Every structure is written in C-alpha cells, then in structure tokens.
Chains A and B, each alone.
Chain A
C-alpha cells in the first residue's frame, strides 16, 4: 500500500515531466520591459497562458523568449498575452487598461527602482 502510493506519486511526476518533452516551438518577441519588475510582471502573466511552456524576458535587450506548444497556442496569442500584461509585444501595443495598472516606474520612459 505504502509503496503503491509512493510509486503512483513518482509516476505522476514522470508523466508531468514527459508532458514537458513534447514538440515545442520557440519565438522571440520584442517587449517594452525596462526592468526586473517588468520582467516579473510579464513572465508571471504569460506563464499562465495556455500552451506556454516557458518565458524568459531579457531586460537588456527587452526580448521575451517564449517556448510554447504550437498545437495549443500561436505567436499571435502570445503577443496578445504580453500586451494584456501591460507591455508592447512587437507591433502590438500594450493593452491600455493593463498599462494603467502598472506601477508608475514600469511605465514607458520611467526607471524602476527594482524594489521587490
């Protein structure tokens, strides 16, 4: 019984891990992130988007690197998600409502103090 439960737990883990191994695509999107706080906001929001496996925003280059499952989402949807988090994504401008809600320092032309 004990070992059974242990094994089913491990099996579950392996399944989840195997899940992550399926075919993925990668895309780079230019964002308007200026600091670590912006990076966090974008990553946290987009990570929950269906089909997104991983997202990393590089603050220096402002590039978001997104690993995703092309069967579940598309580059267009990912750009839209970034926009909804309050930032520009390539040619799609930031969603106005989300942008308004950002901390003052994360708005365009501002400098964040990076306080977390």
Chain B
C-alpha cells in the first residue's frame, strides 16, 4: 500500500479517553479538491479481525491492540486506502485524509464517465447500453444486439451471405467508428461486417455517441462512435461463465469465459466463442438457403496489470476463423465450386489481432497521466459469389499516445497526443489486383472546459498527414448547456475522413449478375456532421422519465457512390458529383408506469439523399419513418424478466429495375412491415434460462431473389433486400456463473 496520504493532521487534544482506544476522523478529498467527511469508511488493524466503521461525520473509535507496533488501515470506496504505523498509543485524535482514487480509464476516457453521469453532464450526446440491456436480445453477436436500441439500426444486406450491417443517422455502418475500449477496432476489411465477429456476452457495456465524437480516437467517425467495453478480468466475481444458445432453425452457440486473478497485480481472462448454423433451410422455396451455413470460432485472451501506484497495463490477443456458405440448396463445394451449374457463395474470414495499453500516473499531480495504446491486425478474407472471386488482406498497425493534464483546476482539462496508423491492403477481384499502403502520422489536441454549474465544452482538432492524400485537418466541437437541472441542450459539429474499401464494404452486390464498374480513382470520403439535441428529465407515475430529441445533418464533401440505379445489370462505383446528405430526427420517450416496468418509445425520421449519376435520389433501402417500442418488466430481484420489442419500418426506395423485363421488376418502393421480438428469462440461484422469439409475425420479404430459378441470367440479383429472409425464430438458452 503506498503512501498517497497527503496530510495527517494531529490535533493536540486532551481527551478524556482512556488509552486503550484510538479515536479520530477520516476525511476524503474528492477529485475537485473538496474535502468531506467519509461516512461508513473502514478502519481496521492489519492482519487482525479488529475493525470499526466510521459514523456519518467520519468519526471512529477503535480499540488498541496489544501487539504494537501495528498498522492501522483506513479505506473507503472510491478512495485510495492508507496505512498508519502506530508504535505507541497516541494521546491525540487522529485526522486522516484519503485521496480520491484515480484510475487509468477515468483519465483516459472522457466517455466512460457518462455511465454514471447519466447523460446530463457530458457535453457529447451519448447513450450507454449496459450488459443488462444487451441481454434483452439473447442472440448472438453485436450486429443483432442493437435491435432493442433506437440510436443504432440493424440493416439486412443480401439474400445469401446472411450478414447484417448497422446504420446510424441513416448512414451505413462504415461511417460509424467502432472502438474497443477507446481504440479503433473495426477498420478496413472489417468496417462493414465486423460487429458480427464480436459475441454479445463478451461485452460489458456499449457507449453510443451520435455525431463525430472525440478527436483523441482518430478522424474516422462521421455519423457516430460505438465504444465497446469488454469484460475486465479484475472485475469478475466469478471464475467461469457459460452461455449456451440454440434455436429451432439450426443455430447453436456457446460462449465460455474464464477469469483468474493471479496475484494482486496480475489478472487475466480468456473468452471463447463457437457458433454454427448447420441446418439447410429454404422456407420460401426459391431454391436458395434462407440463411447460410456458418461456423465461427473466436478466442480472446486479455491480461491486466496494476501496480496500484502509478502504472497500469493491459494487453490482449484475439483470433477469429469464420466460414459462411450460402447460395442454392444443392450447392456442394467439392463438386460445384467455380462451375456455373449450381450457384454457391462462400466467405472465409481469418483474423489475428493484438492490443496493448499502458498508463502512467503522476502521484504528485493526480490529474496528469500519459497513456500509450498500440494495436495490430492481420486479416484475410476470401470470398466467392458464383464465379466471382475476391481475396483481400489487410495488415494494420496503430499507435496512439495521449498526455492528459489540467490547467490549474479540473475545470480546464486538456489532452495532447500523437498517433500513427499503417494500413497495408492487397486485394484481388476476379483478374484485377489492387494494392495500397496508407501511412498516416498525426497530432491532436483537445480542450475540455467545465463550468461547475451548467455548461461544458469540448473542442478538439487534429492534423494528420496521409501518404496518398496529403495533410488534412479534423476539427470537432461539442457544447452542453443545462437550461435547468433537468433540461439539457447539446450542440455538436465536426469533420470526419475515411478511405473506403469498396469491394468488401459492398460485398452483397456481388450476389448478382451486375457487372462491377470502377469508374475512377477513389478519393477519401469526407463529411461534416452537425447535431443539436435536447433532453428533458421529469417524473411520471412517480418514476424517472425522459424525453429526448435530436436532429443531425451529415454533409458529404466526397463519398464513394455505389450506383445501382444507372443500369439494372451494373454496379458503378465513383466519387460523389453533386450533393449527398443525411438528415435525421429522433424522438425518444422513456418512462416507468410501474416499478420495474420500463417503456421506451422512439420515432425516427430519415431524409438521406445522394446524387446518383447527376440525379438526387433517396438512398435506397433507408426507410423514411421508423418506430420502435420496447417494454421490459422484471419481478423482484429480476427472478422473472420479460422483454418485448417491436420495430416498424416504413417504405424505402428500391434501386430501379424498370429496365428489366416485367417479370424481373421490383416495385419502386419497399413494403412497410413490423418486426416483433419477445423474451422471457427466469433466474435461479445458480443459473438462468431464457426463451424467446424473433420475428414473431413471421414476416419475410417475398421473392427476395430476382431470377432465382436461373442464377446465370443477366437479371439474377440477390442483393436487393429490405426485410428479413428468415421467418420466425424460436430460441432458448442458459447462462451460468461458476465461482
């Protein structure tokens, strides 16, 4: 135990106490430097069973022990414990000052604070999805976990690979930056579909930020940031965790975690995941599998080190292997691969990645810290869509150094830092090869001003030098103003920059006869995002309730356009010519009509338009209106839990098919539909079981594949998907902790 004790004040008081007691007072110094009495703090003799608890004013009185000298320990939640060596019975009262605990995450992560600060005090528009919320949809990986959340939409991609994408503010998931504990996670080849590589049970909580987010994490976020906090070995109460899942459509999944504290400094955790979709199903009898056959193996091992003084380190390694096989039901890889008689699709993903994080604190300057993050990845993805073949490989290295400190008081905080990003891509599509290396050194600065009463501001800027596109700047600003104690107003604006990987990000288009035309050299995608949001908290039915309203605009300076409208038998990629924007409006209401019965209702309006071939059109597949209703009820101690979610999707524009013969034409707009899901969970002392259903109404898109009878036809297209292809899914499973 270190001596972070700042002062021990000794008052010379002639007490009437007899010498066999030591009495005194325990004070705590908060982060802001304010002193307060510590109530319910612990005072005990080291190595003995003698101890007392301080009263509301921080006073204590503890019997002396015989074996002096002995160590007297003072501790309280949220404060660094301290020790006093008592060699002879003191005649005075002792006053001890404990200092607020400072952890690496607290300093490094502005965002993390909001988990406790509950939206009112953060300048950035954020929403926390806790692991409890994640349990509302038991299946399976993160791309599906968002089905009970209003800010992130889950989109369906194509009829054969079964992959799901997310969307924020009506924009594709590639414009959302996904972070793992504040380090960029899903980039490059995994930007589009990477969330399906993350099992839901591994995640402790998710922080969703609308808009561009912080410059500390890089320049890539445009529509939002999703930060994943994985389970931490230090915090695990149980050694083993087991989750098993199965559904009647032939999907089985297992997640097993093992956590171990090796000694007070070191702890480790092993996460394993295996899942498989092993049953061939073709409910709509179009000759194609509704969902591909899949296998995924996923292993993650992380290590934490704390010296409990001024140094923390974390590192981890993750490996992933996944195969997907879709297409016609009678496709057999061994005999049909590369031939035209039977249409098959295969996707094989292999990935190995590591990360490390180290943090140094300065005992004399509690708000000062240095953090260094590094990560690296090798990812290989091989795909075939009928006769089309794609192989891609990405090698990545990333390093980020953050120096954080305050200017005099914590009202003025700042972070300075430098980062380096290296990406090496080599891709081939049919007979063409593409390779590029991106090397981007950058520096950044971010200043946070907090007025103790009602205002805060985060202003950040970064300058990066891209080896292909030169120097560029990324400014970002977030403001928060509390109009009243329960009314919060936020403003944000900022710029984002990313380079795209058109093949992998639009892989679903390959499940068609469309000719792939790359019209020109791509420039980076650049966009500005502005947002305003309003949050009001109030009491309803005697419980906390809120209403939240936000409005965002994203304006693209350049975007890689995926044009399916020019020709029904082509997909054309080119740089934006004209305007491309997204307006989104979201209204959320949450209240609790009964104790433990929570209702969330959200309405979303999206106006997303892009210039396709000199014509400004609605972005295809993005419904203009959506409604979500989520109800959750739990009995005492959550012994029973009931969750019910319904999503309503309005009409969206479908890519033009007017040039096709009539039998291969789609309507101009999609149909509106409902998706309902429900889940019941029963907790027992040692485990819990759940039973649920997705897509209860059994709604599927009729005729999802054009020319499904002849995949060699020029009109074949399995990519035009706006609704589920899999009908009702009944699932069940269990979770268990073992000490």
Contact = CB atoms under 8 A, between A and B. Distances in A.
B52 interface: yes
A16 B49 contact: no
Contacts of A54: 636
A9 B644 contact: yes
Contacts of A23: none
A5 B42 contact: no
Interface string B569-608: 0000000000000000000000000100100000000000
Interface in B45-61: 49-53
A12 interface: yes
Given A2-B676, A47-B637, A109 B49 contact: yes
A6 B637 CA distance: 24
B697 A111 contact: no
A110 B674 CA distance: 57
B639 A47 contact: yes
B597 A13 contact: yes
B130 to A, nearest CB: 15
Contact of A16 (B50, B75, B640): B640
Contacts of B179: none
Most buried by A among B50, B51, B75, B674: B51
B635 A16 contact: yes
B684 A48 contact: yes
Given A2-B676, A47-B639, A109-B49, A115 B77 contact: yes
Contact of A111 (B53, B81, B640): B53
A21 interface: no
B455 interface: no
A30 to B, nearest CB: 19
Given A5-B676, A9-B631, A47 B636 contact: yes
B77 to A, nearest CB: 5
Contacts of A13: 594, 597, 633, 642
Contacts of A9: 631, 642, 644, 678
Nearest to A112: B42
A44 interface: yes
A48 B77 contact: no
B526 interface: no
Contacts, number: 64
A90 interface: no
Interface in A2-46: 2, 5-6, 9, 12-13, 16-17, 20, 35, 43-45
A13 B595 CA distance: 12
B646 A111 contact: no
A43 B684 CA distance: 13
B366 to A, nearest CB: 21
B666 interface: no
Contacts of B639: 47-48
Contacts of A110: 49, 51
Interface residues of B, number: 34
Contact of A6 (B40, B642, B646): B646
Contacts of B76: 114
A12 B76 CA distance: 44
B685 interface: yes
A116 B235 CA distance: 9
B696 interface: yes
B44 interface: yes
B639 to A, nearest CB: 7
Given A48-B684, A115-B77, A12 B49 contact: no
B77 A114 contact: yes
Contacts of A43: 637
A20 B678 contact: no
B75 to A, nearest CB: 5
Contacts of A47: 636-637, 639
Given A2-B697, A48-B639, A53-B636, A111 B77 contact: no
Interface string B636-658: 11011010101000000000000
Interface in B14-63: 40, 42-44, 49-53
Contacts of A91: none
A113 B637 contact: no
Nearest to A34: B53
Contacts of B685: 45, 48
Contacts of B49: 107, 109-110
Interface in B612-666: 631, 633, 635-637, 639-640, 642, 644, 646
Contacts of A53: 636
B700 to A, nearest CB: 15
Given A13-B597, A44-B637, A111 B642 contact: no
Nearest to A101: B739
Most buried by B among A35, A110, A111: A111
A1 to B, nearest CB: 6
Interface in B153-184: none
Nearest to B693: A5
Interface string B419-453: 00000000000000000000000000000000000
Contact of B42 (A1, A6, A44, A113): A113
Nearest to B43: A111
A24 B521 CA distance: 75
Contact of B633 (A16, A107, A115): A16
A114 B40 contact: yes
B175 to A, nearest CB: 32
A102 to B, nearest CB: 12
Interface string B109-122: 00000000000000
Contacts of A48: 637, 639, 683-685
Contacts of B52: 111
Contacts of A2: 646, 674, 676, 697
Contacts of B683: 48
Contacts of A12: 642
B52 to A, nearest CB: 7
A106 to B, nearest CB: 12
B44 A111 contact: yes
A116 B77 CA distance: 9
A114 B642 contact: no
Contacts of A113: 42, 75, 77, 81
A56 to B, nearest CB: 11
A110 B228 CA distance: 38
B237 to A, nearest CB: 9
Interface in A66-116: 101, 107, 109-116
A13 B52 CA distance: 45
B637 A17 contact: no
Contacts of B637: 43-44, 47-48
Interface string B663-693: 0000000000010101000011100000000
Given A5-B697, A110-B49, A111-B42, 20 more contacts: A2-B676, A5-B676, A9-B631, A9-B642, A9-B644, A12-B642, A13-B594, A13-B597, A13-B633, A20-B635, A47-B639, A48-B639, A53-B636, A109-B50, A111-B44, A112-B42, A113-B81, A114-B40, A114-B77, A116-B77
6 contacts: A5-B678, A17-B594, A47-B639, A48-B684, A111-B44, A116-B77
Interface of A: 1-2, 5-6, 9, 12-13, 16-17, 20, 35, 43-45, 47-48, 53-54, 101, 107, 109-116
The 10 closest A-B pairs by CB, nearest first: A111-B51, A47-B637, A109-B49, A48-B685, A9-B644, A111-B44, A111-B42, A13-B633, A113-B75, A110-B49
